[in-house]
Amino acid sequence: MKPVILTCGEPAGIGPEVAARAWAALCDAIPMVWLGDPRHLPAGTPHRIVESIAQAEGIQTGALPVLPYPFAGNAIAGHPDMANAAGVIAVIARAVELVTSGAASAICTAPIHKKALKDGANFAYPGHTEYLSALAGGVDVVMMLASEQLRVVPATIHIALSQVPAALTPALLRRTIEITHTGLQNQFGIPSPRIAISGLNPHAGEGGSMGQEEVAWIASLVRDMQSEGYTLQGPLPADTMFHAAARARYDAAIAMYHDQALIPIKTLDFDRGVNVTLGLPFIRTSPDHGTAFDIAGTGAANPTSMIEAIRMAHRMSGS
């Protein structure tokens, strides 16, 4: 199987460290190539420079294959250098080129620091998900957070909570359900996905006494899509959707906004949560954590989420 590309992410964060430790844990089972500036790897990381993805074959267990991309600045742990912003962005674009060409099987991205990218290179996107969508031609995508315990999708992502009611439209929710359904089929191997839909308001609006969106259109959209063959539940009160018995009744949950989706999975399985972008014409995963500048360079970073992200990318490419 073709290797998974690991992008470097923010060099001053924990991305290079957890990538190196994930390679050490998985090199016997999963082929991978790290894309970035080799100067930014932790000191002592066994690695070998390769000129192409194909050249990495056969050296997985002895050294981390590195497809080099030179950055303008050094990496000082915990202190992002604005000079590196353009390189971080370019590495993501290069990874997309490689996976869409068929040279690699999937992309696993390390965390980026959005403010550093905006300040250093006028990065115009709220995050990885939106940038990857643009690189893929502006396709509709959804962000899924997945672990062994829960898969959850926020219908709206990186916007202020005050903007959610206006942004959450029938068209957006329908498209989110469609993309999630197709992703569960094609990338997770679930032929007939069961999807739970949360309400927007407390107690799913409680019949309109705590908000009108559920009675005005969310419930009717769910019924319409059920009649089209989708296996859906909802709208459900978000505060009762995520205990063990409730999770057993669905394959993925769709929540209405960022924290409604991410708080449950980060509470249930913080170290093993994986960020998956569904709707792209390629596979992309990422660890479900940030740059962690406070512990970068100390050796304290937990590589578990990166390990799980690489494993999931590998499994999904097999599907």
* Sequence ranges of the binding site for a divalent metal cation: 158, 203, 258
Annotated binding-site residues for substrate read 128-129, 266, 275, 284
Angle at 188 between CA 101 and CA 66, to 5 degrees: 40
Distance CA 23, CA 5 (A): 11
Strand ranges (E), 37-161:
47-49, 64-68, 106-108, 142-146, 151-154
**What size, in residues, is the chain?**
319
**CA proximity to 64, closest of 34, 104, 94:** 34
Q: What is the number of alpha carbons within 13 Å of residue 162 lying toward its C-beta?
A: 0
Annotated binding-site residues read 128-129, 158, 203, 258, 266, 275, 284
Residue ranges of alpha helices (H) inside the chain are 15-26, 85-100, 114-121, 128-135, 164-167, 170-186, 213, 219-227, 244-247, 258-269, 304-318
Q: In this structure, are residues 60 and 2 in contact, taking their beta carbons and an 8 Å threshold?
A: no
What single-letter DSSP state applies at residue 4? E
Tokens at 146, concatenated: 């997945």
**CA proximity to 16, closest of 206, 296, 304:** 296
SS3 label, residue 214: helix
Which residues is 284 bridged to in the sheet? 107
Residue 9 vs residues 34, 85, 89, 260, 301: alpha-carbon distances, Å = 10, 10, 9, 26, 15
Distance CA 131, CA 154 (A): 17
